[in-house]
Protein backbone atom coordinates (compact mmCIF):
# COMPACT_ATOMS: atom_id res chain seq x y z
CA UNK A 1 0.00 0.00 0.00
CA UNK A 2 1.03 3.54 -0.74
CA UNK A 3 1.92 5.62 2.29
CA UNK A 4 1.02 9.29 1.89
CA UNK A 5 3.46 11.91 3.14
CA UNK A 6 1.91 13.66 6.17
CA UNK A 7 0.74 17.24 5.69
CA UNK A 8 3.06 19.90 7.05
CA UNK A 9 2.11 21.35 10.44
CA UNK A 10 2.11 25.15 10.31
CA UNK A 11 1.74 27.87 12.92
CA UNK A 12 -1.30 30.03 12.14
CA UNK A 13 -0.65 33.77 11.95
CA UNK A 14 -2.08 36.17 14.53
CA UNK A 15 -4.90 37.38 12.30
CA UNK A 16 -6.17 33.83 11.77
CA UNK A 17 -5.81 33.00 15.47
CA UNK A 18 -7.75 36.11 16.44
CA UNK A 19 -10.50 35.37 13.97
CA UNK A 20 -10.90 31.85 15.34
CA UNK A 21 -10.95 33.11 18.93
CA UNK A 22 -13.42 35.84 17.97
CA UNK A 23 -15.89 33.15 16.99
CA UNK A 24 -16.02 32.04 20.62
CA UNK A 25 -16.16 35.39 22.39
CA UNK A 26 -18.21 37.35 19.86
CA UNK A 27 -21.42 35.76 18.82
CA UNK A 28 -23.33 38.89 17.88
CA UNK A 29 -23.22 42.69 18.33
CA UNK A 30 -24.52 42.33 21.89
CA UNK A 31 -21.39 40.32 22.79
CA UNK A 32 -19.23 43.23 21.59
CA UNK A 33 -21.26 45.67 23.69
CA UNK A 34 -20.89 43.38 26.70
CA UNK A 35 -17.10 43.18 26.34
CA UNK A 36 -16.69 46.93 25.79
CA UNK A 37 -18.99 48.01 28.62
CA UNK A 38 -17.34 45.52 31.00
CA UNK A 39 -13.98 47.04 30.07
CA UNK A 40 -15.37 50.50 30.93
CA UNK A 41 -16.61 49.23 34.29
CA UNK A 42 -13.22 47.61 34.96
CA UNK A 43 -11.65 50.99 34.14
CA UNK A 44 -13.64 52.54 37.00
CA UNK A 45 -15.98 54.60 34.79
CA UNK A 46 -18.83 56.53 36.45
CA UNK A 47 -20.55 57.25 33.16
CA UNK A 48 -20.76 54.98 30.13
CA UNK A 49 -22.38 55.96 26.84
CA UNK A 50 -23.22 53.37 24.21
CA UNK A 51 -24.15 54.38 20.67
CA UNK A 52 -25.33 51.81 18.18
CA UNK A 53 -26.64 51.86 14.61
CA UNK A 54 -28.40 49.13 12.63
CA UNK A 55 -28.62 46.76 15.56
CA UNK A 56 -24.93 47.30 16.24
CA UNK A 57 -24.02 45.78 12.88
CA UNK A 58 -22.59 48.98 11.39
CA UNK A 59 -21.68 50.89 14.54
CA UNK A 60 -20.98 50.27 18.21
CA UNK A 61 -19.34 53.08 20.13
CA UNK A 62 -18.65 52.97 23.85
CA UNK A 63 -17.47 56.15 25.56
CA UNK A 64 -16.36 56.17 29.19
CA UNK A 65 -14.75 58.41 31.78
CA UNK A 66 -12.56 55.65 33.20
CA UNK A 67 -8.81 55.50 33.79
CA UNK A 68 -7.87 55.45 30.11
CA UNK A 69 -4.95 53.70 28.40
CA UNK A 70 -1.45 55.18 28.11
CA UNK A 71 -0.33 55.75 24.48
CA UNK A 72 2.50 53.24 24.82
CA UNK A 73 0.04 50.58 25.97
CA UNK A 74 -2.38 50.94 23.05
CA UNK A 75 -0.68 48.30 20.87
CA UNK A 76 -0.62 45.95 23.88
CA UNK A 77 -4.37 46.42 24.40
CA UNK A 78 -4.83 44.93 20.93
CA UNK A 79 -2.46 42.09 21.50
CA UNK A 80 -3.80 38.65 22.34
CA UNK A 81 -3.64 37.42 25.94
CA UNK A 82 -2.45 40.85 27.07
CA UNK A 83 -4.30 42.24 30.08
CA UNK A 84 -3.74 44.75 32.86
CA UNK A 85 -6.16 42.91 35.17
CA UNK A 86 -4.36 39.77 36.32
CA UNK A 87 -0.76 38.64 36.29
CA UNK A 88 -1.68 35.01 35.69
CA UNK A 89 -0.47 33.79 39.07
CA UNK A 90 -3.88 33.55 40.68
CA UNK A 91 -6.73 32.47 38.43
CA UNK A 92 -8.72 31.60 41.53
CA UNK A 93 -8.91 35.19 42.68
CA UNK A 94 -10.52 37.19 39.90
CA UNK A 95 -12.37 40.37 40.79
CA UNK A 96 -12.54 42.17 37.42
CA UNK A 97 -14.93 41.43 34.55
CA UNK A 98 -12.07 40.90 32.14
CA UNK A 99 -8.95 38.80 32.50
CA UNK A 100 -8.49 36.87 29.27
CA UNK A 101 -7.13 39.74 27.16
CA UNK A 102 -9.20 38.52 24.25
CA UNK A 103 -11.95 41.03 23.56
CA UNK A 104 -10.07 43.85 21.84
CA UNK A 105 -7.90 41.67 19.58
CA UNK A 106 -11.01 39.66 18.68
CA UNK A 107 -13.00 42.81 17.89
CA UNK A 108 -10.10 44.05 15.77
CA UNK A 109 -10.15 40.78 13.87
CA UNK A 110 -13.83 40.89 12.92
CA UNK A 111 -14.48 44.61 12.39
CA UNK A 112 -12.95 48.06 12.04
CA UNK A 113 -11.87 49.02 15.53
CA UNK A 114 -10.58 52.36 16.76
CA UNK A 115 -9.47 53.03 20.34
CA UNK A 116 -9.02 56.64 21.41
CA UNK A 117 -7.92 57.14 24.99
CA UNK A 118 -6.35 59.48 27.44
CA UNK A 119 -4.89 58.40 30.76
CA UNK A 120 -4.13 60.85 33.58
CA UNK A 121 -0.89 62.74 32.92
CA UNK A 122 -0.67 61.48 29.33
CA UNK A 123 -1.51 62.88 25.90
CA UNK A 124 -4.56 61.51 24.12
CA UNK A 125 -3.75 58.91 21.48
CA UNK A 126 -5.51 56.51 19.15
CA UNK A 127 -4.94 53.24 17.38
CA UNK A 128 -6.94 51.58 14.63
CA UNK A 129 -7.14 48.01 13.48
CA UNK A 130 -9.16 46.47 10.67
CA UNK A 131 -9.36 42.83 9.73
CA UNK A 132 -6.54 42.08 12.16
CA UNK A 133 -3.88 44.55 10.99
CA UNK A 134 -3.17 47.55 13.19
CA UNK A 135 -2.00 51.02 12.15
CA UNK A 136 0.61 52.81 14.31
CA UNK A 137 -0.46 54.86 17.34
CA UNK A 138 -1.37 58.45 16.44
CA UNK A 139 -2.01 61.58 18.53
CA UNK A 140 -5.69 62.35 19.11
CA UNK A 141 -7.97 64.84 20.83
CA UNK A 142 -9.81 63.67 23.93
CA UNK A 143 -10.11 65.24 27.36
CA UNK A 144 -10.13 61.96 29.27
CA UNK A 145 -11.37 58.38 29.40
CA UNK A 146 -11.74 56.08 26.45
CA UNK A 147 -13.80 55.95 23.26
CA UNK A 148 -13.90 52.63 21.43
CA UNK A 149 -15.60 52.46 18.05
CA UNK A 150 -16.38 49.25 16.23
CA UNK A 151 -17.68 49.60 12.70
CA UNK A 152 -18.90 46.87 10.38
CA UNK A 153 -18.69 44.00 12.83
CA UNK A 154 -18.14 40.66 11.09
CA UNK A 155 -17.34 42.25 7.69
CA UNK A 156 -14.17 40.16 7.85
CA UNK A 157 -16.10 36.98 8.69
CA UNK A 158 -19.03 36.85 6.23
CA UNK A 159 -20.19 33.45 7.50
CA UNK A 160 -20.94 34.97 10.91
CA UNK A 161 -22.50 38.06 9.37
CA UNK A 162 -25.09 35.86 7.66
CA UNK A 163 -26.26 34.43 10.98
CA UNK A 164 -27.16 37.77 12.53
CA UNK A 165 -30.82 38.44 13.16
CA UNK A 166 -32.82 41.54 12.23
CA UNK A 167 -31.57 44.94 13.39
CA UNK A 168 -34.48 45.00 15.80
CA UNK A 169 -33.59 41.65 17.36
CA UNK A 170 -29.92 42.59 17.64
CA UNK A 171 -30.84 45.97 19.21
CA UNK A 172 -33.00 44.19 21.71
CA UNK A 173 -30.16 41.83 22.65
CA UNK A 174 -27.92 44.88 23.16
CA UNK A 175 -30.57 46.52 25.33
CA UNK A 176 -30.73 43.36 27.41
CA UNK A 177 -26.95 43.30 27.95
CA UNK A 178 -26.92 46.95 29.00
CA UNK A 179 -29.87 46.38 31.33
CA UNK A 180 -28.11 43.53 33.11
CA UNK A 181 -24.85 45.41 33.50
CA UNK A 182 -26.77 48.48 34.69
CA UNK A 183 -28.33 46.33 37.44
CA UNK A 184 -24.90 45.01 38.37
CA UNK A 185 -23.52 48.57 38.64
CA UNK A 186 -26.19 50.83 40.14
CA UNK A 187 -23.64 53.56 40.94
CA UNK A 188 -22.71 53.95 37.28
CA UNK A 189 -24.73 56.03 34.78
CA UNK A 190 -25.53 54.26 31.51
CA UNK A 191 -26.84 55.93 28.37
CA UNK A 192 -27.78 53.77 25.39
CA UNK A 193 -28.53 55.57 22.12
CA UNK A 194 -29.86 53.75 19.11
CA UNK A 195 -29.06 56.21 16.33
CA UNK A 196 -30.80 54.19 13.62
CA UNK A 197 -34.01 53.78 15.56
CA UNK A 198 -35.31 57.35 15.61
CA UNK A 199 -32.47 58.21 17.97
CA UNK A 200 -34.04 56.21 20.78
CA UNK A 201 -32.37 56.85 24.10
CA UNK A 202 -32.37 54.79 27.29
CA UNK A 203 -30.85 56.37 30.37
CA UNK A 204 -30.07 54.72 33.68
CA UNK A 205 -28.85 57.58 35.79
CA UNK A 206 -26.90 56.99 38.98
CA UNK A 207 -28.23 59.12 41.80
CA UNK A 208 -25.30 61.10 43.15
CA UNK A 209 -27.06 61.47 46.52
CA UNK A 210 -27.43 57.76 47.16
CA UNK A 211 -24.54 56.11 48.94
CA UNK A 212 -26.43 53.02 50.03
CA UNK A 213 -26.19 50.02 47.71
CA UNK A 214 -29.72 48.76 48.45
CA UNK A 215 -31.20 52.19 47.75
CA UNK A 216 -29.21 52.55 44.57
CA UNK A 217 -30.20 49.05 43.42
CA UNK A 218 -33.85 49.60 44.28
CA UNK A 219 -33.85 52.86 42.30
CA UNK A 220 -32.20 51.21 39.35
CA UNK A 221 -34.63 48.26 39.39
CA UNK A 222 -37.49 50.75 39.50
CA UNK A 223 -36.14 52.36 36.31
CA UNK A 224 -35.55 49.06 34.56
CA UNK A 225 -38.38 46.80 35.78
CA UNK A 226 -40.94 49.47 36.58
CA UNK A 227 -42.66 50.99 39.55
CA UNK A 228 -44.92 47.99 40.11
CA UNK A 229 -41.91 45.77 40.60
CA UNK A 230 -40.24 48.25 42.93
CA UNK A 231 -43.40 48.57 45.01
CA UNK A 232 -43.84 44.79 45.25
CA UNK A 233 -40.23 43.80 45.79
CA UNK A 234 -38.91 42.15 48.93
CA UNK A 235 -35.41 43.03 50.00
CA UNK A 236 -33.06 40.07 50.43
CA UNK A 237 -30.01 40.06 52.63
CA UNK A 238 -28.97 36.72 54.03
CA UNK A 239 -25.93 34.51 54.21
CA UNK A 240 -24.79 30.95 54.70
CA UNK A 241 -21.37 29.29 54.81
CA UNK A 242 -19.52 32.05 53.00
CA UNK A 243 -22.22 32.83 50.45
CA UNK A 244 -24.15 36.10 50.62
CA UNK A 245 -27.52 36.58 48.92
CA UNK A 246 -28.81 40.10 48.31
CA UNK A 247 -31.21 41.74 45.89
CA UNK A 248 -34.94 42.10 45.39
CA UNK A 249 -37.64 39.56 44.58
CA UNK A 250 -41.26 40.37 43.84
CA UNK A 251 -44.25 39.14 45.76
CA UNK A 252 -45.99 36.21 44.07
CA UNK A 253 -48.88 38.52 43.23
CA UNK A 254 -46.47 40.37 40.95
CA UNK A 255 -45.42 37.50 38.69
CA UNK A 256 -45.10 37.08 34.93
CA UNK A 257 -46.40 34.64 32.36
CA UNK A 258 -42.86 33.84 31.17
CA UNK A 259 -39.49 33.55 32.89
CA UNK A 260 -38.23 36.76 31.26
CA UNK A 261 -37.55 38.94 34.28
CA UNK A 262 -35.14 36.84 36.31
CA UNK A 263 -31.75 38.44 36.68
CA UNK A 264 -28.89 36.61 38.34
CA UNK A 265 -25.46 37.88 39.30
CA UNK A 266 -22.50 36.10 40.80
CA UNK A 267 -19.82 38.31 42.31
CA UNK A 268 -21.25 41.22 40.35
CA UNK A 269 -21.24 39.39 37.03
CA UNK A 270 -24.50 38.79 35.14
CA UNK A 271 -24.90 35.05 34.61
CA UNK A 272 -27.46 32.66 33.16
CA UNK A 273 -27.18 29.65 35.31
CA UNK A 274 -29.60 26.71 35.35
CA UNK A 275 -28.93 25.84 38.96
CA UNK A 276 -29.66 29.39 40.18
CA UNK A 277 -32.79 29.69 38.02
CA UNK A 278 -33.95 26.33 39.35
CA UNK A 279 -33.46 27.51 42.93
CA UNK A 280 -35.50 30.65 42.24
CA UNK A 281 -38.26 28.57 40.76
CA UNK A 282 -38.20 26.10 43.63
CA UNK A 283 -38.49 28.89 46.19
CA UNK A 284 -41.79 30.07 44.67
CA UNK A 285 -43.10 26.61 43.85
CA UNK A 286 -45.75 26.56 46.55
CA UNK A 287 -46.92 30.14 46.08
CA UNK A 288 -47.13 30.39 42.28
CA UNK A 289 -49.15 28.34 39.84
CA UNK A 290 -47.14 26.41 37.26
CA UNK A 291 -47.68 28.90 34.45
CA UNK A 292 -46.54 31.93 36.46
CA UNK A 293 -42.90 32.98 36.91
CA UNK A 294 -41.23 34.99 39.67
CA UNK A 295 -39.56 38.34 38.97
CA UNK A 296 -36.27 38.87 40.78
CA UNK A 297 -32.78 40.30 40.69
CA UNK A 298 -30.57 38.06 42.84
CA UNK A 299 -26.96 38.72 43.70
CA UNK A 300 -24.83 35.90 45.07
CA UNK A 301 -21.46 37.00 46.41
CA UNK A 302 -18.72 34.85 47.79
CA UNK A 303 -14.99 34.59 48.06
CA UNK A 304 -13.73 34.31 44.44
CA UNK A 305 -12.09 31.00 45.33
CA UNK A 306 -15.53 29.41 45.92
CA UNK A 307 -16.65 29.91 42.33
CA UNK A 308 -15.01 29.36 38.96
CA UNK A 309 -15.91 31.96 36.33
CA UNK A 310 -13.40 30.56 33.88
CA UNK A 311 -15.82 27.97 32.48
CA UNK A 312 -16.92 29.69 29.30
CA UNK A 313 -15.21 32.35 27.10
CA UNK A 314 -18.20 34.70 27.46
CA UNK A 315 -18.13 33.98 31.20
CA UNK A 316 -21.91 33.69 31.40
CA UNK A 317 -21.66 30.33 33.14
CA UNK A 318 -20.14 29.73 36.53
CA UNK A 319 -19.32 26.69 38.59
CA UNK A 320 -19.69 26.73 42.36
CA UNK A 321 -17.52 24.62 44.60
CA UNK A 322 -20.62 23.84 46.61
CA UNK A 323 -23.77 24.27 44.51
CA UNK A 324 -25.95 22.66 47.20
CA UNK A 325 -25.20 25.42 49.70
CA UNK A 326 -25.97 28.15 47.15
CA UNK A 327 -29.23 26.50 46.15
CA UNK A 328 -30.21 26.12 49.80
CA UNK A 329 -29.35 29.74 50.51
CA UNK A 330 -31.56 30.99 47.67
CA UNK A 331 -34.51 28.70 48.41
CA UNK A 332 -34.53 29.36 52.15
CA UNK A 333 -33.68 33.07 51.82
CA UNK A 334 -36.56 33.66 49.42
CA UNK A 335 -39.02 31.47 51.33
CA UNK A 336 -38.16 33.28 54.53
CA UNK A 337 -38.69 36.70 52.92
CA UNK A 338 -41.99 35.56 51.40
CA UNK A 339 -43.16 34.13 54.72
CA UNK A 340 -42.31 37.34 56.51
CA UNK A 341 -44.33 39.26 53.94
CA UNK A 342 -47.28 37.02 54.75
CA UNK A 343 -47.06 34.61 51.88
CA UNK A 344 -46.59 31.35 53.75
CA UNK A 345 -45.47 28.42 51.70
CA UNK A 346 -48.92 26.92 52.21
CA UNK A 347 -50.78 29.96 50.87
CA UNK A 348 -52.32 29.47 47.49
CA UNK A 349 -52.29 32.60 45.43
CA UNK A 350 -55.04 33.18 42.94
CA UNK A 351 -53.70 33.81 39.49
P1 LIG B 1 -9.31 42.08 29.38
O2 LIG B 1 -10.52 42.91 29.67
O3 LIG B 1 -9.57 40.62 29.55
O4 LIG B 1 -8.08 42.54 30.11
P5 LIG B 1 -9.50 43.23 26.70
O6 LIG B 1 -9.02 42.73 25.37
O7 LIG B 1 -10.96 43.45 26.87
O8 LIG B 1 -8.97 42.21 27.80
O9 LIG B 1 -8.74 44.59 27.03
C10 LIG B 1 -7.32 44.60 27.03
C11 LIG B 1 -6.77 45.68 27.95
O12 LIG B 1 -7.07 46.97 27.42
C13 LIG B 1 -7.39 45.69 29.34
O14 LIG B 1 -6.74 44.78 30.21
C15 LIG B 1 -7.21 47.16 29.76
O16 LIG B 1 -5.93 47.37 30.28
C17 LIG B 1 -7.31 47.90 28.45
N18 LIG B 1 -8.67 48.49 28.25
C19 LIG B 1 -9.65 48.00 27.46
N20 LIG B 1 -10.74 48.80 27.49
C21 LIG B 1 -10.45 49.82 28.33
C22 LIG B 1 -11.16 50.99 28.78
N23 LIG B 1 -12.41 51.25 28.37
N24 LIG B 1 -10.53 51.81 29.65
C25 LIG B 1 -9.27 51.56 30.08
N26 LIG B 1 -8.54 50.48 29.67
C27 LIG B 1 -9.11 49.62 28.82
MG1 LIG C 1 -12.25 42.95 28.50
Q: Is residue 111 part of a domain?
A: yes
Residue 70's CATH number: 3.30.565.10
**Can you give the residue range of the structural domain that contains 317?**
228-340
270 shares its domain with 326: yes
Residue 326's CATH number: 3.30.230.10
Task: Please work out whether the CB of residue 68 comes within 6 Å of at least one atom of ligand 1.
Answer: yes
* Ligand with smallest separation from the Cα of 68: 1
Residues 51 and 187: beta-carbon distance below 8 Å: no
179 shares its domain with 240: no
170 shares its domain with 111: yes
171 shares its domain with 36: yes
47 shares its domain with 173: yes
Tell me the CA–centroid distance for residue 77 and ligand 2, in Å: 10
Q: Is residue 145 part of a domain?
A: yes
What is the 8-class DSSP label of residue 166?
-
253 shares its domain with 125: no
* Ligand with smallest separation from the Cα of 37: 1
Cα 285 from chain centroid (whole Å): 29
* Ligand with smallest separation from the Cα of 63: 1
100 shares its domain with 236: no
Q: For position 347, what pLDDT does the model report?
A: 45
Task: Please work out whether the CB of residue 47 comes within 6 Å of at least one atom of ligand 1.
Answer: no
- What's the pLDDT band for 343 if we cut at 50, 70, 90? low
The protein residue with its alpha carbon nearest to ligand 1, atom 12, reads: 77
241 shares its domain with 329: yes
Tell me the CA–centroid distance for residue 107 and ligand 1, in Å: 12
144: buried, middle or exposed (CB in 10 Å: 19+, 13-18, 0-12)? middle
Q: Is residue 5 part of a domain?
A: no
Q: What CA–CA distance (Å, rounded) separates 278 from 331?
A: 9
Summarize pLDDT for 238-259 with one digit per residue, the tens.
999 999 999 999 999 999 999 8
249 shares its domain with 200: no
Q: Is residue 7 part of a domain?
A: no
Atom of ligand 1 nearest to the CA of 104: 6
Q: 79-88, 89-98, 309-318: lowest mean pLDDT where? A: 309-318
Q: Which residues contact 18 (CB under 8 A, 6 or more apart)?
A: 80, 105, 106, 108, 109, 132
Q: Is residue 63 part of a domain?
A: yes
Q: For position 156, what pLDDT does the model report?
A: 84
118 shares its domain with 260: no
What DSSP line would sit under 130-142, residue for residue?
ETTEEPPPEE---
Q: 32-46, 143-157, 306-320: lowest mean pLDDT where? A: 306-320
Q: For position 196, what pLDDT does the model report?
A: 85
Q: Is residue 148 part of a domain?
A: yes
For the entire predicted model, the pTM comes to: 0.93
Q: Is residue 6 part of a domain?
A: no
Summarize pLDDT for 169-188 with one digit per residue, the tens.
999 999 999 999 999 999 99
Atom of ligand 1 nearest to the CA of 96: 2
Evaluate if residue 297 carries a pLDDT over 50. Answer: yes
Q: Is residue 210 part of a domain?
A: no
**To test the ligand 1 pocket, which listed residue (49, 71, 84) has its Cβ within 8 A of the most ligand atoms?**
84
191 shares its domain with 235: no
Tell me the CA–centroid distance for residue 104 and ligand 1, in Å: 7
Q: How many domains does the chain have?
A: 2
262 shares its domain with 175: no
Amino acid sequence: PQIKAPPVIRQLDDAAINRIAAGEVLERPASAVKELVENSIDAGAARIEIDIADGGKTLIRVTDDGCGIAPDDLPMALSRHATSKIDGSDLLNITSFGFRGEALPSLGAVGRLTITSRAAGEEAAMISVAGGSAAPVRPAALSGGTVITLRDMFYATPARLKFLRTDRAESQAIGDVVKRLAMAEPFVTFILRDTSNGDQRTTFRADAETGDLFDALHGRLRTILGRDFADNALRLDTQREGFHLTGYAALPTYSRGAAVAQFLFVNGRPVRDKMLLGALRAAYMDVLSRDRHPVAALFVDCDPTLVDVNVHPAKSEVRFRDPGTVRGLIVSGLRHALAEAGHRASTTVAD
